[in-house]
Amino acid sequence: VKFLPLNSAEKLDRVDMKRQLRRNRILHTILRQGPISKYDLSKVLRCTPPSVGETVDDLEHQGHVRRAGLGPSAGGRRPVLYELVPPSAHALGIDFGRSHTALILADLSTHVVARAEGPTLKDATTEELTRHVRDRVDDLLSQVPGSRETLRGIGLGVPGLIDEPRGLPLARDTRFRQLRHSIEDDLGVPTFLENDARTMALAELWFGKGHSRRDFIALNLGHGIGMGIIIAGQPLHGSLGHTGEIGHLRVAFPGEPCTCGSSGCLETVASGWALAKRAAEIARREPDSALARLAREWGEEPSARLVVEAAKRGDEQARALLAEAGVQIGRALAAAVNLLNPEVVIVGGRLSHAGALIFDPLERTLRESILPALRDETAIELSDLREEAGPLGASALVFQEIFEADASELRHFI
């Protein structure tokens, strides 16, 4: 497996590019659907069997794929099945959460081989942030001997808006721009940047419940409310890179002020920060309420986590807060489902840890509110990636780049 830098791509002629593209698609399909026969590969990829067969033979010869037994007979001889040889390369994902920065090293078979974490430095300077992240990356790579050499790229999942003029992602927080350049220079591997709601959708696509699905929505219920949209197996970006801002759909008029500068947004009635605010109001007004008592027990201001805990202990006020949030989210989500017709809506993020307390009212409202024709055809599922969705999705940025590079934008090969 060889990484070719950008300038090498310019030297490839069209025939080479087509061959390289076919090779990437074959590796990608074997990874996602393997073990698979040459014939089935040619059907999935709509290529002629001889061209696919030749490429698979090359890949086997080069040690990237191997035989994995025989498939069932379709009348004649049983076909040879092929799978990827792991781990031929590694991808590193870093997720900058509100309190923790989580890192994951995954191999090309999308198995996690190492993890590391550290606090998120909120008010750090660019230099402090860069040094801190570099140390964590070194920790992680030293856990897996040889991974420094096989590292194929790094993905960064960051909160906040990412502007994407001409398809070039730029974080509004300039520290992340610097961080990206510095990591790229130091480690000599391509480094990608993406908004954390979209990295979570990529996590579902590569590691979670979106694995065998082409069209889905991944909803991230956390401090804010975000959504990643996957259409035809690809993340939807929009002209400026700002798709999926469901948290800022207006649901109340005029409503309370929102962090985005508008008012009455979904986030003002159903996000982690809105729940914390509501719980704080209750605790102030009713010092004997379960929420106030739990806040004293924990020695902190009411948070969304505290609301979830109180609800799990059976407090009716906390349960009502979560149920109301579920209803509001379900209504807003119905608009997204009607517009995008996803096969499944995958609900994740910290607030989803409340389970049925938020999920049931959300699902009920969503089903009541969507187009009747879609009611029984749209699956709604809780994510099972938990805290790992962020860093997994960041590492998936590298997989996307390796396997999805197309001829017009061929930048990285394996």
Which is closer to Zn ion, CB of 144 or CB of 260?
260
The number of beta carbons lying within 10 Å of the beta carbon of residue 127 is 11
Write down the H helix ranges in 230-385: 266-270, 272-285, 290-298, 304-312, 316-340, 356-369, 372-375
Residue 231 or 260: which CB sits closer to Zn ion?
260
CB of 240 to Zn ion, least distance (A): 16
At its nearest, how many Å lie between Zn ion and the CB of residue 307? 21
Answer yes or no: are the C-beta atoms of 221 and 264 closer than 8 Å. Answer: no
Q: How far is the CB of 221 from Zn ion (least distance, A)?
A: 15
CB of 398 to Zn ion, least distance (A): 31
Contacting residues for 353 by C-beta, under 8 A, at least 6 apart: 308, 386
Q: Which of 79, 84, 81 is nearest to 64 (CA)?
A: 84
Residues 166-195, interacting with Zn ion (CB under 5 A): none
Task: Give the one residue of 94, 258, 290, 332 binding Zn ion; rule: CB under 5 A.
Answer: 258
Place of tokens 């430095």: 121
Examine residue 248 and tell whether it contacts Zn ion (CB under 5 A): yes
Q: Using CB under 5 A as the criterion, what x/- string covers residues 208-247 for binding Zn ion?
A: ----------------------------------------
User: Residue 156 Cβ, how far from Zn ion at the closest point, in Å?
Assistant: 24
Q: Which region among 54-62, 83-91, 169-177, 259-267 touches Zn ion (by CB under 5 A)? A: 259-267
> CB under 8 Å to 291, separation ≥6 — which residues?
279, 282, 283, 302, 306, 307, 310, 315, 317, 318
Residue 265 interacts with Zn ion (CB under 5 A)? yes
**Cβ nearer to Zn ion, comparing 178 with 262:** 262
Binding to Zn ion (CB under 5 A) within 112-141 occurs at none
Q: Can you read off the two tokens belonging to residue 316?
A: 């009716």
Q: Which helix (H) or strand (E) element contains residue 153?
A: strand 151-158
3-class DSSP state for residue 191? strand
152 counts as binding Zn ion under rule CB under 5 A? no
Distance CA 84, CA 205 (A): 18
Distance CA 193, CA 186 (A): 16
Total residues in contact with Zn ion, by rule CB under 5 A = 5
DSSP one-letter code for 250? B
If the CB atoms of residues 252 and 280 are measured against Zn ion, the closer one turns out to be: 252
Give the range of 87-95, 99-107, 261-269, 400-408 binding Zn ion by CB under 5 A: 261-269
Instruction: Kindly indicate which of the ranges 33-41, 74-82, 115-123, 256-264 contains the residues binding Zn ion, using the contact rule CB under 5 A.
Output: 256-264
Smallest gap from residue 268 Cβ to Zn ion (A): 7
Footprint on this chain of Zn ion (rule: CB under 5 A)? 248, 258, 260, 262, 265
